[in-house]
Amino acid sequence: MKRIILTSIALLLLLLNGSPVLAALDTEELPKCVVVTHCVRVNWEVSDVETSFKKAVEAVASTPRTKIVEQTDLYIHAEAKTKSRRYTDDLLLKALPEKGVIQVRSESRVGIGDMGVNQKRVDDLAYRLSTMKN
């Protein structure tokens, strides 16, 4: 019940403020996608969460039109501008060491569809991480 209330509050604040909230809590997963036509959330299973997360942060920081606006040791929130219309999308990454997972969530702020932009962003990030040197 507590999780449902927190999730409801987070969604309400997201709608009001236009930015993710409560996702940085160390024990919480990233919010699930509510409108799946413009949101993607995946879990990447990794052997070394800390090293993989640091690489992911580097990859996000070097992504064109993407700016990290919030960062902790286990979480980042970046704003990514779409190439054609410069819409702002939210890209969230969360390290969950106890699960051996990095959670990634990309969501458009406007509209009900994204023409595959968020899935492409997540896939591109995964590819770039797989090609990074140790």
List per-block mean pLDDT (blocks of 10 residues) for the chain, which spans 134 residues.
53 53 63 94 97 97 97 97 90 97 96 92 96 78
**What's the predicted TM-score (pTM) here?**
0.79
The tokens 């968020």 sit on which residue?
Answer: 118
Strands (E), 1-124: 39-45, 66-71, 75-81, 88-96, 101-108
Residue 106 CA to its chain's centroid (Å): 5
Task: Return the CA Rg of the chain.
Answer: 14
CATH number of the domain bearing residue 45: 3.30.310.50
Give the domain extent around 45.
2-131
Number of residues in the chain:
134
Number of domains in the chain: 1
Phi-psi region of 18 (alpha: psi -120 to 50; beta: other; left: phi over 0): left
